[in-house]
C-alpha cells in the first residue's frame, strides 16, 4: 500500500464503492451534520471510526487537519465563549459556560465533516471524484442551456487539470535548466511570477484549440451529456441503504 | 454562449484547482497563495460573466469534495462553517467586478478594476464573518468588531501586492496574445 497526494491506495470496500454514492453521501451527510443534535454527532463519530477501520486508511492521514481545527477551535471558543457587557471593554469580559459548550458542539460538527471529507479524498481517485460531481449536475442539462453549459464547464475543467499539470511540469523543467530553485522567499516569489505568464499563455492556446475542435465537430449549445462511469453492484445498493439510514437518523435527531 | 470563451473559462477554473492542489502538495515550491492573482486575471482576460463562471466552477468543485482549496481538508461542504469562507465566495464577485471595469489594453482600467475587485473580495469576506458571528454564534457584534477580527493590515498589504502582480501579468498576457 502506498499514498499518492491525498489518495491512499488500497482495495477496501470503500475504495470500490460507486463514486456517485460517495459524492452524494458526503454532500447529504455534511449538510445534515450542520442540523443534527448530540445523538447524531455521537452516531457519526462512531460511524466515521468504523469507516476508517474498514477503509484501511492510517490515522496519520488525518494529522494534516490538526492545525486548522486548532485555529477554528480558538476562533469559535473566543467568539462564542468570551462575553462582555455593552458598557465594558472586550478585556473586561468573562468566559460563558453556555457559549463554550456551543463552541465545542460547533467544533465537533466541523471535525466530523472535515473527517468525512478527508476520508472521501483518501478512498476516491481525483478523476472519480470529478466525474461523480458532474453526474449530479447532469439533470440540470434538461432545465436550461446555461445549466447544460455549466455541467460541460465542470467536465472540461476536470479534463484540463492533468493536462495543465503536465504543461506546468514542462515549464518547471525548462526553468530548472537555468539553475537551482532559489532559497530566499523574495527570489522564489519573483521566479513564480515569471512562470505564471508562459503557463497562462500555453493554457489559453490549449483552450482556443479545444474551442475550435468543438466547433468543428458541431458542438451545439446545451447538447452536453455525461457518460456512465461505474457499473452499479450489490455493494453499492447496500452502501446507498446505509447512507440513507444514517441520513434519516441525523434528520430525526435534528 | 461563445465556445472559445467557454473553453478558456474551464482553463482558468483548472488553473485555480491546480494551484490550490500545488499549495498543499508542494508548499516549498509556491512561497505564497497565488489564488487571488488568478481570480483577478480571470476577470481581466475572460471578462465579467465568464470570469465569474470560472470561479463558480472552482467553488462548486471544491464544495463537492474535490481537494482544490488551499487549507485542510482542502474541499467539502465543511468549508461553509469556516469563518473565512466568505473570501472564497468573494472570488466569484471579485472576478465579475474586475471584468466589468476592465477595457482591453487600458492600464488604468486594469488598476481600478483590480482595486475594486480587492475591495469586493474583502467586503464578502468580512460580511460572511459578520454572518457567522451574528447568525450562527448569536453574538452581538459591530462592524468595528468584525474589522478588528477579520481585517489584518499586513495581509491587506500582501493582497495589494498580489493585485499589482495581477495587473502586470494581465497586461503582459494581453500584449503577447
What three-state secondary structure class fits A210?
Answer: helix
A157 and B75 within 8 Å at the Cβ level: the answer is no
With CA atoms as reference, the chain A residue closest to B13 would be: A157
- pLDDT higher than 80, residue A123: yes
B7 and A210 within 8 Å at the Cβ level: the answer is yes
Which of A115, A161, A210 comes nearest B17 by C-beta? A161
Helix locations, chain A, DSSP H = 13-16, 19-33, 38-54, 66-81, 97-123, 126-137, 145-177, 185-216, 234-252
Give the tens place of pLDDT for each residue, B148-172: 777 777 778 888 988 998 999 998 8
Q: What pLDDT shows up at residue A87?
A: 72
Which of B25, B30, B64 comes nearest A192 by C-beta? B30
A157 and B45 within 8 Å at the Cβ level: the answer is no
CA distances from B130 to A112, B17, B135, B145 (A): 24, 28, 8, 9
- pLDDT higher than 50, residue A143: yes
* Domain B3-176 CATH class label: mainly alpha
Q: What pLDDT shows up at residue A48?
A: 94
**Where is average pLDDT lowest: A70-84, A141-155, B79-93, B108-122?**
A141-155
Parse chain B into domains and list their residue ranges.
Answer: 3-176
B81 and A75 within 8 Å at the Cβ level: the answer is no
Task: Name every residue whose Cβ is closer than 8 Å to that of residue B32 and which is 6 or more positions away in sequence.
Answer: A189, B158, B162
Which residues from A are below 8 Å from B52, CB to CB? Answer: none
Which residues from B are below 8 Å from A163, CB to CB? Answer: 14
A117 and B75 within 8 Å at the Cβ level: the answer is yes
Which residues from B are below 8 Å from A110, CB to CB? Answer: 78, 81-82
**Where is average pLDDT lowest: A39-43, B6-10, B67-71?**
B67-71
pTM score of the predicted model: 0.78
Residue indicated by cell numbers 458526503: A26
Query: Does A140 touch chain B if contact means CB atoms closer than 8 Å?
Result: no
Which residues from B are below 8 Å from A103, CB to CB? Answer: 137
- Report chain A's mean pLDDT, rounded to a whole number: 82
With CA atoms as reference, the chain B residue closest to A133 would be: B64
B73 and A201 within 8 Å at the Cβ level: the answer is no
**ipTM attached to this prediction:** 0.87
Which of A31, A117, A153 comes nearest B57 by C-beta? A153
Distance from CA of A78 to the nearest CA of B (A): 11
Query: Does A214 touch chain B if contact means CB atoms closer than 8 Å?
Result: yes
Give the percent of chain B with pLDDT over 90.
Answer: 42
**One-letter-per-residue 3-state SS of chain B:** CCHHHHHHHHHHHHHHHHHHHHHHHCCCCCCCCCHHHHHHHHHHHHCHHHHHHHHHHHHHHHHCCCCCCCCCCCCCHHHHHCCCHHHHHHHHHHHHHHHHHCCCCCHHHHHHHHHHHHHHHHHHHHHHHHHHHHHHCCCCCCHHHHHHHHCCHHHHHHHHHHHHHHHHHHHHHHHHC
What's the CA gap between A185 and A195, in Å, rounded? 15
Tally A–B CB contacts below 8 A: 198
Amino acid at each position: 500500500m502506498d499514498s499518492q497526494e491525498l489518495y491512499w491506495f488500497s482495495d477496501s470496500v470503500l475504495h470500490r464503492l460507486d463514486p456517485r454514492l460517495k459524492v452524494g453521501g458526503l454532500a447529504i451527510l455534511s449538510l445534515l451534520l450542520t442540523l443534527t443534535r448530540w445523538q447524531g454527532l455521537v452516531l457519526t463519530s462512531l460511524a466515521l471510526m468504523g469507516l476508517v477501520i474498514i477503509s484501511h486508511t492510517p490515522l496519520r492521514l488525518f494529522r494534516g487537519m490538526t492545525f486548522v481545527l486548532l485555529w477554528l477551535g480558538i476562533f469559535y471558543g473566543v467568539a462564542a465563549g468570551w462575553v462582555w457587557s455593552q458598557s465594558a471593554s472586550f478585556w473586561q469580559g468573562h468566559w460563558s459556560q453556555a457559549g463554550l459548550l456551543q463552541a465545542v458542539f460547533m467544533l465537533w460538527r466541523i471535525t466530523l465533516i472535515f473527517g468525512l471529507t478527508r476520508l472521501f479524498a483518501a478512498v476516491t481517485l481525483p478523476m472519480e471524484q470529478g466525474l461523480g460531481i458532474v453526474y449530479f449536475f447532469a439533470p440540470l442539462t434538461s432545465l436550461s442551456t446555461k445549466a447544460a453549459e455549466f455541467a460541460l464547464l465542470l467536465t472540461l475543467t476536470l479534463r484540463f487539470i492533468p493536462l495543465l499539470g503536465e504543461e506546468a511540469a514542462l515549464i518547471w523543467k525548462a526553468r530548472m535548466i537555468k539553475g537551482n530553485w532559489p532559497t530566499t522567499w523574495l527570489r522564489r516569489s519573483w521566479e513564480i511570477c515569471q512562470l505564471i505568464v508562459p503557463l497562462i499563455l500555453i493554457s489559453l492556446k490549449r483552450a482556443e484549440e479545444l474551442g475550435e475542435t468543438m466547433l468543428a465537430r458541431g458542438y451545439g449549445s446545451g447538447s452536453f451529456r455525461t457518460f456512465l462511469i461505474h457499473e452499479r453492484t450489490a455493494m453499492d445498493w447496500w452502501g446507498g441503504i446505509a447512507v440513507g439510514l444514517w441520513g434519516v437518523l441525523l434528520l430525526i435527531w435534528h | 454562449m461563445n465556445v472559445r470563451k467557454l473553453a478558456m473559462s474551464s482553463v482558468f477554473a483548472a488553473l485555480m484547482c491546480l494551484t490550490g492542489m500545488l499549495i498543499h502538495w508542494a508548499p516549498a515550491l509556491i512561497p505564497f497563495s497565488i489564488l487571488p492573482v488568478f481570480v483577478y486575471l480571470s476577470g481581466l482576460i475572460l471578462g465579467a460573466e465568464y470570469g465569474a463562471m470560472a470561479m463558480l466552477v472552482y467553488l462548486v468543485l471544491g464544495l463537492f469534495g474535490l481537494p482544490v482549496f488551499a487549507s485542510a481538508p482542502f474541499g467539502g461542504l465543511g468549508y461553509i462553517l469556516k469563518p473565512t469562507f466568505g473570501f472564497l465566495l468573494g472570488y466569484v464577485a471579485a472576478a465579475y467586478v474586475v471584468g466589468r471595469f476592465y477595457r482591453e489594453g487600458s492600464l488604468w482600467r486594469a488598476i481600478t478594476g483590480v482595486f475594486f475587485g480587492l475591495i469586493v473580495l474583502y467586503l464578502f469576506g468580512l460580511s460572511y464573518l459578520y454572518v457567522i458571528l451574528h447568525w450562527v454564534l448569536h453574538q452581538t457584534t459591530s462592524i468595528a468588531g468584525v474589522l478588528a477580527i477579520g481585517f489584518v493590515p499586513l495581509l491587506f498589504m500582501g493582497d495589494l501586492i498580489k493585485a499589482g502582480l495581477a495587473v502586470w501579468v494581465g497586461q503582459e498576457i494581453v500584449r503577447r496574445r
